[in-house]
């Protein structure tokens, strides 16, 4: 039988869970004898680096593991509800609806990949509620709009009928939360739901999820590699490494009195705002200057008049030679557009960019274009996602060598190979790995390859656009250390674009803050983080999810207001 009668103080029990994947090389173990429990109303933080097995463990609760996954005996996943126990691993076909949606919902990391892009959000949510709650279309529509309003979406009736691509990143994540809550689940699985969000939107989403937990009596499994976020939201923490649970306990115990060396290493890799670097005694001369720079894009006209969007508005800025300059702001603030303009990769409407201390004068702007090939020897870019920016059909050697060959910097293959090996070693890439393809590497290793490609033509200026945003904290720390080393060894000037202010604080010498296309504040790291002048900057800094002291954490025992109970299913419906 899959349903047993009994009473449990736990909502979910996972016992001896072991999952292998069928690969060309044979069985590969992804989850190894995992045991964990979740109580009603509890928020459990499930943390670990990429490949630790945390997402596979969570997806197995909803039976969403890939087709090549093999769940080994004697694995058990039991969902408790009132006096019923459901053995999830024995459910088949339509009976899985007793778990998916009815009792357990999931917020995925990327909402754009979770919604059907060609179907309105309203149609997707209405269909879900009709299936799981038995609502008619009008009931489902009213409930959906109410949920949109509840998760803080402005103009909920209008937004409800839009497509997912018409919403901003923060709005999409809120819509995903509303979709997950629409079936009134008892357990919500949130898989890296705030990784790609700005600090202010992230703070809003975390507050919203805690508020809904208290209102609805809902338990959560919150999957993340950000221990600062865990400290804000979790009651208990489970730490995974290479498929195994290495430490588990209360948030206070795991975060502030860790026992396992791996947990300690994750905590040590967290950026901190203490001991901020002192400003240089003497500011170096600028490597490049931006003067009165504006970038305007035409929008779709209404047939009579073309409208315009001002992405960057009249910015003047000097970037000191040999320093790391942080450029921060929320999504849509214009920081990436400004970075591209400095590389000649965005059309300049007014103003200009000028590079100093170069062999030939480099100046371009609204009245003078620049040959990108010429500028590429001076300035390069490291992109956010190395997997999509590296050609999957080229070996690492060819990827790094491509700029040398495209710009005729080296004379022959021997000279090219020597330069590739030199740069690979400098970026801590194993020379033996140069024959491999990008898919064979982890995210951190691929980012090292991207940095090596940017450095191979010996530029003076690098734009790093959100280059550590998707990396685990320990891998992130390695890349940040590498960037500091390269700055010291090569005298590089680096524009580091990021929405993660804790990273900016630990890496940069100078910080510039953008809002709605304008430069609202700039200064040394200590000035910006300890004495911010603008209200917008103050709001950004207040939103940083730092690791709080135990005394500063919220109570672990909120007053829960439970939603109306619904039976899981009848025994006849679920039977074996």
In a domain, 91, yes or no: no
Q: Is the pLDDT of residue 47 over 70?
A: yes
- Note the pLDDT of residue 570: 31
Which domain, by its residues, includes 389?
Answer: 380-458
pLDDT mean over 508-525: 94
Residue 331 lies in a domain: no
Q: How far apart are CA 51 and CA 122, in angstroms?
A: 35
What is the band of 574 on the pLDDT scale with cuts at 50, 70, 90?
Answer: very low
122 — pLDDT class (breaks 50, 70, 90): very high
394 within domain boundaries: yes
The burial of 458, by beta-carbon neighbours within 10 Å (0-12 exposed, 13-18 middle, 19 or more buried), is given as middle
State how far the Cα of 469 lies from the Cα of 196, in Å rounded to an integer.
Answer: 7
What does the pLDDT average to over 557-561?
38
Phi/psi of residue 130, each to 5°? -65, -40
Please indicate, yes or no, if residue 547 is contained in any of the structural domains.
no
pLDDT tens-place string over residues 400-443: 999 999 999 999 999 999 999 999 999 989 999 999 998 888 77
N- to C-terminal Cα distance for the chain?
6
Q: How far is Cα 433 from Cα 311, in angstroms, rounded to an integer?
A: 41
Number of neighbours of residue 555 by Cβ within 10 angstroms:
7
Tell the burial category of 281 from Cβ atoms under 10 Å away from its Cβ (0-12, 13-18, 19+): exposed
Do the domain assignments include residue 414?
yes
Q: Which residue has the higher pLDDT, 554 or 541?
A: 541
Instruction: Please report whether residue 424 resides in a domain.
Output: yes
pLDDT at res. 273? 73
Distances (CA, A) of 473 to 64, 87, 345: 27, 35, 31
- Does the pLDDT of residue 556 top 50, yes or no? no
| Percent above pLDDT 70 for the chain | 91
State yes or no: pLDDT of 5 exceeds 50.
no
pLDDT level of residue 571 (50, 70, 90 thresholds):
very low
Residue 333 lies in a domain: no
Beta-carbon neighbour count of residue 507 at 10 Å? Answer: 24
8 A C-beta contact, residue 334 and residue 490:
no
Which pTM value belongs to this model? 0.76
Task: Give SS3 for 83.
Answer: coil
pLDDT digits (tens, 9 = 90+) for 140-192: 999 999 988 887 788 899 999 999 888 876 678 788 888 988 888 889 999 88
Report the range of poorest mean pLDDT among 26-35, 226-235, 285-294, 321-330.
226-235
**Is residue 226 in a domain?**
no
Query: pLDDT at residue 566 above 70?
Result: no
136: which DSSP letter? -
Looking at the 3D structure of the chain, how many domains does it have? 1
Determine what percent of the chain falls in helix, strand and coil, rounding each to the nearest 5: 40, 25, 40
For 57, other C-beta atoms within 10 Å of its C-beta total 27
Tokens read off for 304:
């009579």
| Distance set, CA 261 to CA 225, 228, 236 (Å) | 16, 18, 19
Chain-centre distance of CA 64, in angstroms?
21
Read off the pLDDT of residues 205-221 as tens digits, 9 standing for 90 and up. 788 888 878 887 889 99
Answer yes or no: are the C-beta atoms of 511 and 528 closer than 8 Å.
yes
């Amino acid at each position: 039988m899959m349903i047993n009668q009994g009473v449990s103080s736990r909502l979910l029990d996972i016992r001896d869970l072991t999952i292998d994947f069928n690969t060309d090389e044979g069985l590969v173990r992804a989850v190894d004898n995992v045991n964990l429990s979740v109580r009603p109303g509890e928020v459990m933080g499930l943390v670990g680096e990429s490949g630790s097995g945390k997402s596979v463990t969570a997806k197995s609760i909803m039976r969403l593991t890939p087709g090549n996954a093999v769940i080994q005996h004697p694995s058990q996943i039991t969902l408790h509800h009132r006096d019923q126990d459901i053995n999830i691993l024995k459910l088949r076909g339509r009976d899985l609806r007793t778990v998916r949606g009815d009792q357990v919902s999931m917020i995925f990391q990327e909402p754009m990949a979770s919604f059907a892009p060609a179907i309105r959000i309203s149609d997707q949510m209405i269909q879900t509620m009709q299936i799981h709650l038995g609502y008619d279309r009008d009931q489902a529509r009213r409930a959906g709009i109410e949920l949109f309003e509840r998760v803080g979406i402005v103009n909920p009736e209008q937004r409800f009928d839009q497509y997912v691509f018409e919403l901003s990143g923060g709005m999409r994540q809120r819509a995903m939360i509303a979709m997950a809550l629409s079936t009134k689940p008892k357990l919500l699985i949130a898989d890296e739901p705030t990784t790609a969000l700005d600090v202010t939107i992230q703070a809003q989403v975390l507050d919203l999820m805690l508020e809904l937990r208290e209102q609805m009596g809902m338990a959560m499994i919150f999957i993340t590699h950000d221990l600062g976020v865990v400290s804000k939201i979790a009651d208990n923490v489970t730490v995974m490494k290479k498929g195994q649970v290495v430490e588990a306990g209360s948030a206070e115990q795991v975060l502030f009195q860790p026992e396992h060396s791996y947990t300690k290493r994750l905590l040590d890799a967290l950026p901190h705002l203490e001991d901020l670097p002192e400003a240089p005694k003497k500011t170096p001369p600028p490597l490049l200057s931006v003067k009165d720079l504006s970038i305007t894009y035409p929008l779709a006209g209404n047939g009579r008049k073309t409208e315009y969007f001002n992405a960057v508005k009249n910015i003047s800025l000097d970037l000191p030679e040999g320093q790391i300059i942080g450029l921060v702001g929320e999504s849509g603030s214009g920081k990436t557009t400004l970075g591209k303009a400095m590389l000649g990769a965005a059309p300049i409407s007014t103003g200009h960019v000028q590079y100093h201390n170069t062999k030939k004068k480099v100046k371009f702007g609204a009245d003078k274009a620049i040959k990108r090939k010429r500028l590429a020897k001076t300035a390069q870019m490291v992109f956010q996602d190395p997997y999509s920016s590296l050609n999957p059909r080229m070996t690492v050697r060819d990827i790094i060598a491509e700029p040398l060959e495209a710009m005729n910097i080296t004379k022959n293959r021997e000279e090219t190979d020597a330069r590739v090996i030199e740069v690979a070693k400098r970026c801590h890439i194993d020379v033996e790995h140069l024959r491999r393809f990008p898919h064979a590497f982890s995210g951190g290793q691929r980012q090292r390859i991207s940095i090596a490609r940017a450095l191979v033509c010996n530029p003076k200026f690098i734009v790093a656009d959100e280059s550590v945003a998707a990396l685990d904290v320990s891998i992130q720390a390695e890349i940040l250390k590498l960037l500091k080393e390269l700055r010291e060894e090569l005298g590089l000037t680096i524009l580091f674009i990021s929405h993660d202010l804790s990273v900016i604080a630990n890496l940069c010498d100078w910080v510039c803050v953008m809002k709605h296309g304008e430069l609202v504040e700039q200064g040394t790291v200590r000035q910006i983080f300890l004495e911010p002048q603008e209200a917008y900057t103050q709001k950004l800094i207040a939103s940083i999810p730092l690791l709080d002291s135990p005394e500063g954490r919220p109570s672990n025992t909120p007053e829960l207001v439970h939603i109306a109970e619904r039976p899981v299913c009848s025994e006849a419906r679920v039977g074996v």
